[in-house]
Chains A and B, each alone.
Chain A
Amino acid sequence: MPDGAPDLATSVLDVRDLKTVFRTRGGEVHAVNSVSFHLERGELLGVVGESGSGKSVTMMSLIGLLPSPPAENRGGQVLLGGRDLLKVTDDELRAVRGAKIGFIFQDPMTSLNPVFTVGNQIMEPLIRHMGLTKAQARVRAAELLELVGISDAAARIDNYPHQFSGGMRQRVMIAIALSCDPDVLIADEPTTALDVTIQAQILELVKGLRQKLGMAIIWITHDLGVIAGIADRVMVMYGGQVVEQAPVKELFANPQHPYTRALLKTIPSLHGKRAARLQVIEGQPPIMTAAPTACAFRDRCAHRFDRCDRENPLRRPIGASHDVACHWTAGGAHA
């Protein structure tokens, strides 16, 4: 594949105005509301946001992994190498998923098949998409397992998923996603079940692949420490929308959206004084039964004013590649 898409100089992936709705018995759930972002070659984009804010659904929609019904695409474009993934056939999409986009799911137990050995599941895409023979694939699968830090890989390759610990299953998912050297890797909470030393090892591995292969990575996590350590840029989601986006240092130094600020305050520290009680963001997340017509964060925001109830704020640039969707920070009520 030629470097980058011809019409989008350096972007490997460009998502515009993506909208996804679930139709359930209880009515509609507007999980993704006009989400736009792009990803550059070799870049690592961190995605953070409240639980239920639409991080996973956004990523699943853009590679057509949500069953429909109940999921329904209500518009947008997902451009990969000049093609709109929302418009291609199912077969083409499957090929893209196998070879161009690697995906690590949030829930490793449900995404591994319990009746096949771990080895078989790593070998399958190698045989299907990379044209390896069974014997070659087995050797490669063992290498991949070692690469993600599973000792004694040659012996454990014949284990079934339930014989692996939570973190080991997660690493199997990572091995599968990396097996075909994808252009884009989407990692949904890839290291939540991993301890810090193995996490560090995986992060180093991923950084290396990024440099060697120019792989672009989307990394969804709740762990702001991990974000601080590896991301180039960070996108913050709330209520199915992107509310802030900035280079990583800028975001930590100069957070703008009230949600981002609150989020950064909630981290317990490893050093420093131990707080008697942890900070929380008071209030409930929005329930998203309709497309937003007002700011989704307003009920929990200390800076709320009349405009926040009338109008859903759009993202506007406030600095070099830093943008934020907030009436208050846009100067509306600075006083």
Chain B
Amino acid sequence: MLDAAPKMLVQVRDLKMYFPVYTGILRRHTGDVKAVDGVSFDIAQGETLGLVGESGCGKSTVGRSLLRLYEPTGGSVVIDGEDIATLSPEALRRKRPTMQMVFQDPQASLNPRMTLAEIIGEPLVEHGNLSAQDRLRRIYDLMDQVGLNRRFAGRFPHEFSGGQRQRIGIARALALNPKFIVCDEPIAALDVSIQAQVVNLLEDLQDSLGLTYLFISHDLSMVRHIADRVAVMYLGRIAELSPRDALYDRPLHPYAEALLSAVNEPDPLLARRERIILQGDVPSPARPPKGCNFSTRCPRAFARCHTEKPQLSEVEPGRHVACFLYDTTAQAGSTGRPEDPEHNQQGEPK
């Protein structure tokens, strides 16, 4: 994937997703949970973008809004040239097979009254035109690919373990040969060997079919393995978006640094690197801080961080950081425009 100008399959600009909060006996609309608050990024065709960050920071909401499982509050999502946010229901239905999601909560997405073969085969029936025999062959192929024994085809979801159910969801998402897959914690419930198997599978499919992934995970070692670039989110916004190796070698944003330092070393005999323990609680997304969202816990915050929101900007080639520590324009007097849309995007348009 080293073309001079890679095709951007997914382009997200200033995406916002607010959930209204109603309080009191009268259920008055008193505010919003700003689950996603101005997020912009691109994913090139055939690329894997990792999305990491604290629980509740808005990762799943980004994933769901991208596929328009939510109606976003603002911003645009262009996938393969079409703005998802404004597609008609019929156009959206036709586009659905090309974009799929593997859900965080496998149980909730599986119909308890259908057998495994029916669940995996359902999208094939709905959108495909295979004969019953070809369909069964395809179902078996998919089961092999995700490591489910063919003898399980007639079983119901409750007869499977948590990890087995997650694999059913993956097989189902793969059934229609999508172009773009949002993987929301696709491997959290799996044991390491099966995780490896699924990740290898996702990589193989990417190589052979040119698939594009948004890979949401809190497993930083797995993200390091699979992602080309990684976006680190904090409280509804992107703190840093960098190429994988650069991020892991030298995280720039203080939050990214803290996050990477907290990983458990899977070997009690190895000395760990200094862990940065963050003080304080994550603020509520219904009442984010006035300044930088991370300012209340940032070990390196200074006065400006408490009054102004930093925008994501390219501070080194390919590295985008939303942090005043890296703001070289401070003296240039551009501080008076905190919401400048130009600075809200990731770098220059390609």
When A and B form their complex, which 7 residue pairs have the shortest distance between CB atoms, in order from nearest?
A167-B55, A51-B163, A225-B264, A152-B284, A278-B196, A195-B218, A225-B266
State which size class the interface on B falls in: 35 or more
Contacting residues of chain B (132-172) with chain A, CB-CB under 8 angstroms? 147, 149, 151, 154-155, 159-164
Are B107 and A196 closer than 8 Å at their CB atoms? no
The residues of A that contact B33 with a CB separation of less than 8 Å are: 163
Q: A56–B151 Cα gap in the complex (Å)?
A: 22
Contacting residues of chain A (32-77) with chain B, CB-CB under 8 angstroms? 48-52, 56-57
Q: Which residues of B contact A (CB under 8 A)?
A: 19, 21, 23, 33, 52-56, 60, 104-108, 147, 149, 151, 154-155, 159-164, 185, 188-197, 199-200, 203, 218-222, 224-225, 248, 258-260, 262-269, 275, 277-278, 281-284, 286-287
Known A189-B162, A193-B55; judge A284-B147 contact (CB<8 A): yes
Cβ of A287 under 8 Å from chain B: yes
Q: A223–B188 Cα gap in the complex (Å)?
A: 9
The distance from the CB of B57 to the nearest CB of chain A, in whole angstroms, is 8
Q: A197–B275 Cα gap in the complex (Å)?
A: 10
The distance from the CB of A232 to the nearest CB of chain B, in whole angstroms, is 11
Q: A283–B78 Cα gap in the complex (Å)?
A: 41
The residues of A that contact B108 with a CB separation of less than 8 Å are: 109-110
29 CB-based A-B contacts, threshold 8 Å:
A26-B151, A26-B154, A51-B163, A107-B105, A146-B281, A152-B284, A155-B23, A165-B55, A167-B218, A170-B55, A195-B53, A196-B259, A197-B54, A200-B262, A200-B277, A222-B163, A222-B190, A229-B264, A229-B265, A249-B268, A252-B269, A263-B191, A268-B221, A274-B225, A278-B195, A278-B199, A280-B200, A284-B147, A285-B149
Question: B224, B258, B267: which has the most chain A beta carbons within 10 Å?
Answer: B267
Q: A149–B192 Cα gap in the complex (Å)?
A: 27
Cβ of A267 under 8 Å from chain B: yes
Are A280 and B19 closer than 8 Å at their CB atoms? no
The distance from the CB of B24 to the nearest CB of chain A, in whole angstroms, is 10
Known A50-B194, A267-B192, A270-B248; judge A197-B262 contact (CB<8 A): yes
Look across to chain B and name the residue whose beta carbon is closest to the beta carbon of A267: B266
Are A229 and B268 closer than 8 Å at their CB atoms? yes
Cβ of A292 under 8 Å from chain B: no
Are B56 and A266 closer than 8 Å at their CB atoms? no
Q: A196–B52 Cα gap in the complex (Å)?
A: 10
Chain A 265-305, CB-CB to B under 8 Å as 1, else 0, gives 01111100011011111001101000000000000000000
Are A263 and B224 closer than 8 Å at their CB atoms? no
The distance from the CB of A282 to the nearest CB of chain B, in whole angstroms, is 9
Q: A115–B221 Cα gap in the complex (Å)?
A: 37
Are A278 and B225 closer than 8 Å at their CB atoms? yes
The residues of A that contact B266 with a CB separation of less than 8 Å are: 223-225, 227-228, 267, 269
The residues of A that contact B199 with a CB separation of less than 8 Å are: 278
The distance from the CB of A148 to the nearest CB of chain B, in whole angstroms, is 10
Cβ of A151 under 8 Å from chain B: yes
Q: A262–B194 Cα gap in the complex (Å)?
A: 12
Question: B33, B105, B190, B218: which has the most chain A beta carbons within 10 Å?
Answer: B218
Are B221 and A192 closer than 8 Å at their CB atoms? no
Are A155 and B162 closer than 8 Å at their CB atoms? no
Contacting B60 at CB < 8 Å: which of A109, A166, A287? A166
